[in-house]
Structure formats: C-alpha cells, structure tokens
Amino acid sequence: MECKVLLLTFFIIISFNLSKAQMVPAMFVFGDSLVDVGNNNYLKLSIAKADLPYYGIDLPNQKANGRFTNGMNAADFLAEKLGLPTSPPYLSLVDKSNENNNVSFLNGVSFASGGARILGGKNNPLSQSIHLTQQLDYFSIVYKDLYKQLESSGAKNHLSKSVFTFVIGSNDIFRYFESSDLQNKTTSLQYVDSMVLSIKAKLKRLYGFGARKFVIVGIGSIGCCPARRREIKNEECDEEINFWSDKYNKGLISMLQELKSDLKGINYSYFDTYKALFDFVQRPAAYGFVEVKAACCGLGTLNAKIFCLPIAKYCSNRSDYVFFDKVHPTEAAHRIIVDRIFDGSLQYAFPMNVKQLVAI
C-alpha cells in the first residue's frame, strides 16, 4: 500500500510540474531499468528492484519508487517534454489490490522493467523481469481496452498520433558476455543480429496495432560503466562490449531504414546513446560532470562491487557523476540525454529528433 501511495504522489507532482502544452495524446514505453518507473516493484519474487535507499534520494519525498537512479529518469523527462504526465507502470494499474476502478490508458502506460531483454528466455525467479515479448503482450491488452473505449476509428487515430518509446538491449549484451553457454552456442555477430530481428518483429507487431511514431534509443557505450571498468586493467572501458553494442546499433539503424521503406506512414527518431554517453566520458567538463569512472553509490572498486543498497556509501555531489550506481546514470545524465533526444541536433538524433517527429 505504501508503494502505491508513493507512486501516486510522484505522478501527481510530475503532472503539476508540466510546463509544456500536450504535444501527443499518449506515450507508451517499452524497455529496461533505464526507463522503469516502478513495474518491478510488483514482481513479488524479484530482487531486481529499486525500492530501497538511496534510490530516489533526490525526489521531493526522498523515497525510492522503482526508478534505478537518484531521482527522475529518461521516461519522466521525455514525458515532461511532451506535456504528458509520466506514463504509469502497467502492473500498478492492473494490480488486483488497486482500489482505483477507473483505470485509463489514454495518456499512455509504461511496460518497462528492470533487467528486461529483447531476447527473453527463462527468468531466474530472483531476477524476474518483464521481457520485451511480454511487454508487447501486455500492450495487446491495453489495445483492446482502447478499442472498446474509443471504437475502431478513434483508437486508430489515437495510436497513430501517440509516441512509442523503446529503450532496451543493454541487458542482452551483458548477458551474452557473462554466459559461456551462450558464447558456445552462437557467435557475437549472430547474437546481435538476432536482437535486431527480434525487435524488428515487435515494431511490426505494434505497427499492426496502429503505432506510427517510434522513438528508438540505441545502446550506450555500456563498456564504460563502473561495473565493466572494475573488471578491466587500469579501469579502462571494456572495448569488446562497446564494440558489440555499437555493432547492434548499426544493425538497428539499418533495420529502421528498411521499415521506413516497407511500412506506409511509419516514422521514427533514433537516438545515438552510444555517442552521447561516450562524449560524457571523453569531455565531462563540457556537461558539468567531474566523475565518469566511479559510481556515486556502492562499495568496493569504483563503488561498483554492489548496487546502491542501504549498506552502500553514496556521494553528496550527485550531479557531478555520470553514473549513480554501477550501471545506471544519474538524474543529471538522464536529463541531458533527453534534452538531446527531444530537440538535439541530427548528430545524435536522426533522421529527426522527437520534437520534429511529433510535429508530423
């Protein structure tokens, strides 16, 4: 019950802070912990949750609410830019103990889940996540609700103007390089190609439901996160993981260009997170950052031995850090990234930024 109250309070605060006119009717979010706004809190067996201090320490109530950072994340900031309240976690709306009988998906909903992957596979119960296939299955339920509420033409129009945001893929790359079994079964190239093919099928499925505007966020230079640096000599970036993250992104770009040619009316904005994050690492002072290697919150080398748990140490100057914990960016980094996603130059967002996308 306390979790629900905290989430509701946060969404109300976000709603009152909206400063822009609503630009689209809704935003539907698919992804992993970078944009999870609380779905994992409803996975009872999972320990992959951001529900303990010091997550959320810079929110108005200083309470953890399922976001894997010190404050707001990219999903919050992008919703704010679009003039929308943050898309609420799907599982909070369908929770059987939810006392709200007037659940509405009209402004969008988030299916994002910490630990989620493009290539699902079986969950370890203790790291339970909603993988991408299941996220789309949940959307099919939302679609039926919108169809009933708005009828066929209304739902079609509503979804064609809405934004469908994807932030996912990092966990797939981490999983491959942490699994000797996977590496024995498939080559790195085959693996990233299968990631691209899988997400292509899912985008086509959403197109079939009426989605036309997609925001696709590439994988960042995740080999530079503290968790990987602590494994590398001289605490340098993990070049192998960076190489295959970039390789996936290039395949993703090529696939999106094909979809644009094949599917009538589809439009997208792709954001080069790899380049943006690497620029933070290379030129931190240009963005107001001081520390790019170590996490703000954690223990051990680079504060990257454990996640940000109550036993961890955390920094007081959080806006100076690129990473809050051993893999997740700080609120400050999220904010800068979304500024670029929304109205940045085509150096990072192409063939158009989100502001241009929603104007179509």
Q: Is position 325 annotated as part of the catalytic site? A: yes
- Is 170 noted as a catalytic residue in this protein? no
Joined together, the tokens standing for residue 221 give 């230079």
Q: Exposure pattern of 63-102 as b/e (b: 16+ CB <10 Å)?
A: bbbbbbbbbbbbbbbbbbbbebbbbbbbbbbebeeeeeee
3-state secondary structure of 106: coil
Rounded CA gap, 317 and 299, in Å? 17
Give residues with Cβ within 8 angstroms of 96, minimum separation 6: none
Q: Which of 36, 172, 238, 325 is catalytic?
A: 325
From 131, 158, 328, 334, active-site residue: 328
C-alpha closest to that of 98 among 199, 215, 173, 8: 8
Q: Which of 32, 33, 46, 245 is catalytic?
A: 33
Q: 33 catalytic, yes or no?
A: yes
Dihedral class, residue 108 (left if φ above 0, else alpha if ψ from -120 to 50, else beta): left
Q: Do residues 199 and 166 touch, judged by C-beta distance below 8 A?
A: yes
Per DSSP bridges, beta strands 213-217 and 267-271 are parallel
- Residues designated catalytic: 33, 325, 328
